[in-house]
């Protein structure tokens, strides 16, 4: 069978644009689809961790994107008792630590443009309905221009974030997994906004967190996320409670909210989630790759897109779309992320629900620079332990001197 494209990528967010960029850069014929017309907004915290910054650098985008927005060099953690500790953003691969906050309207449009510049073909307003593979090729059923069509390629990649309808209708997911829930809004005219990321455990239900991510000198993405009740209404209530926190009132005294408060689910079930089906690979949040401690997903989308592209390149070269080849992709994702996610789940479920422990960690961090740096590393997804998880081993991983 002759194919017009080697790979059909469904979803043009960070994961889809990443895999499309790396594949097209290597010479593959890539068709990138999205149901939306770009630029389009995406409900998110907008934070880019040092790992995500490194991926932007690898994609040749860091210079222009960092020039457009304020660089974040510090990270602040506020305990339930409102005591604060601060650490510089940890260094990343020989580079001074840096994080960014870029609204998804801007970030996703530029990532998509990068994929197209690399050679991917993009089509918007295409709604994927179902994907199936038979070991030889993937069949993608879509609705496009008011008509149902069927497109085929040797492989398909699904990168649709938390939208699980396609995965359920394709039989890749058997049931809806448990999700985290978050809500956020943009505020301008903030008073005394710092140049640091803030992660706050005061004024939110535990285990949960609030955040203040500055976009520029007086504008920020402010939100709250939690792991209990998953209803959208509950997340809006948690957000309202968070911004009513007396500690935030000096910051919000003259603030104006820009646009509505938006709630969104987060799939953080990677440790048990499927990552492939016949002739189909999943990347980013479609594979549950959202940090189960912090809700961060942009980095994991970008990284898994690169990993998927590396494996797809080999599969195409060998004309090998076997279960063994798909399992090799799964093994690569597990090697990169499984222990990290298991550690973050343990910290979330056994430590972040205890106000007294969070208070103690922050108090101790203020006495030890190495502990401050280690807490920042844990929060930013760069700390893990291997083997059986116990409270003693988790505490040792955090507290051990460097």
Q: H or E stretch including 184?
A: strand 180-188
CB distance 182 to 221 below 8 Å: no
The per-residue pLDDT for 229 is: 46
Give the mean model confidence (pLDDT) for residues 44-63.
Answer: 92
The per-residue pLDDT for 159 is: 97
Same topology, domains 7-68+104-174+269-340 and 180-266? Answer is: no
Start-end of H helices in 170-322 = 232-243, 249-252, 298-318
Question: How many beta carbons lie within 10 A of that of residue 350, not counting itself?
Answer: 16
Tell me the CATH class for 180-266: alpha beta
Closest CA to 262 of 219, 231, 232: 232
Domain boundaries, the chain: 7-68+104-174+269-340, 180-266, 344-399
Tell me the CATH class for 7-68+104-174+269-340: alpha beta
Backbone angles phi, psi at 322, to 5 degrees: -75, 165
| Burial category of 392 from C-beta neighbours within 10 Å (exposed 0-12, middle 13-18, buried 19 and up) | exposed
Give the mean model confidence (pLDDT) for residues 232-248.
Answer: 83
Measured distance CA(228)–CA(242) in Å, rounded: 16
In which residue are the tokens 């792991």 written? 227
The per-residue pLDDT for 142 is: 96
**Over the stretch 116-136, which tens digit does the pLDDT of each residue have?**
999 999 999 999 999 999 999
Give yes or no for residue 215 having a pLDDT over 90.
Answer: yes
SS3 of 217, please?
Answer: coil
User: Buried b vs exposed e over 154-163: b needs ≥16 C-beta within 10 Å?
Assistant: bbbbbbbbbe
**At 402, is the pLDDT very low, low, confident or very high (cuts 50, 70, 90)?**
very low
């Amino acid at each position: 069978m002759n194919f017009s494209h080697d790979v059909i990528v469904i979803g043009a967010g960070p994961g889809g644009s990443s895999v499309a960029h790396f594949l097209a850069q290597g010479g593959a014929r890539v068709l990138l689809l999205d149901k939306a017309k770009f630029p389009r907004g995406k409900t998110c915290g907008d934070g880019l961790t040092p790992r995500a910054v490194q991926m932007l650098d690898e994609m040749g985008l860091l210079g222009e994107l960092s020039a457009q927005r304020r660089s974040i060099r510090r990270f602040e953690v506020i305990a339930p008792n409102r005591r604060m500790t601060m650490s510089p953003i940890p260094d990343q691969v020989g580079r001074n630590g840096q994080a960014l906050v870029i609204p998804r309207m801007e970030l996703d449009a530029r990532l998509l443009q990068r994929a197209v510049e690399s050679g991917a073909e993009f089509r918007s307003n295409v709604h994927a309905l179902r994907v199936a593979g038979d070991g030889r090729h993937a069949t993608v059923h879509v609705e496009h221009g008011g008509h149902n069509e069927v497109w085929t390629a040797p492989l398909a990649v699904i990168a649709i974030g938390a939208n699980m309808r396609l995965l359920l209708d394709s039989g890749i997911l058997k049931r809806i997994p448990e999700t985290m829930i978050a809500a956020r809004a943009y505020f301008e005219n903030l008073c005394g906004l710092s140049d640091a990321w803030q992660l706050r455990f005061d004024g939110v239900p535990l285990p949960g967190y609030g955040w203040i991510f500055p976009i520029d000198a007086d504008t920020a993405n402010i939100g709250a996320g939690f792991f209990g009740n998953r209803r959208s209404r509950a997340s809006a209530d948690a957000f309202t409670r968070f911004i009513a926190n007396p500690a935030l009132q000096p910051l919000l005294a003259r603030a104006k909210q820009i646009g509505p408060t938006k709630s969104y689910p987060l799939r953080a079930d990677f440790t048990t989630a499927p990552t492939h089906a016949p002739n189909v690979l999943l990347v980013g949040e479609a594979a549950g790759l959202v940090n189960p401690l912090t809700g961060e997903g942009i980095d994991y989308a970008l990284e898994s897109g690169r990993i998927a592209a590396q494996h797809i390149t080999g599969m195409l070269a060998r004309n090998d779309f076997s279960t063994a080849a798909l399992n090799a992709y799964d093994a690569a994702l597990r090697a990169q992320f499984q222990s990290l996610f298991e550690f973050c789940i343990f910290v979330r479920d056994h430590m972040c629900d205890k106000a007294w422990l969070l208070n103690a960690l922050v108090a101790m961090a203020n006495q030890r620079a190495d502990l401050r740096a280690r807490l920042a590393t844990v929060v930013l997804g760069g700390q893990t332990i291997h083997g059986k998880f116990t409270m003693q081993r988790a505490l040792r991983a955090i507290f051990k001197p460097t």
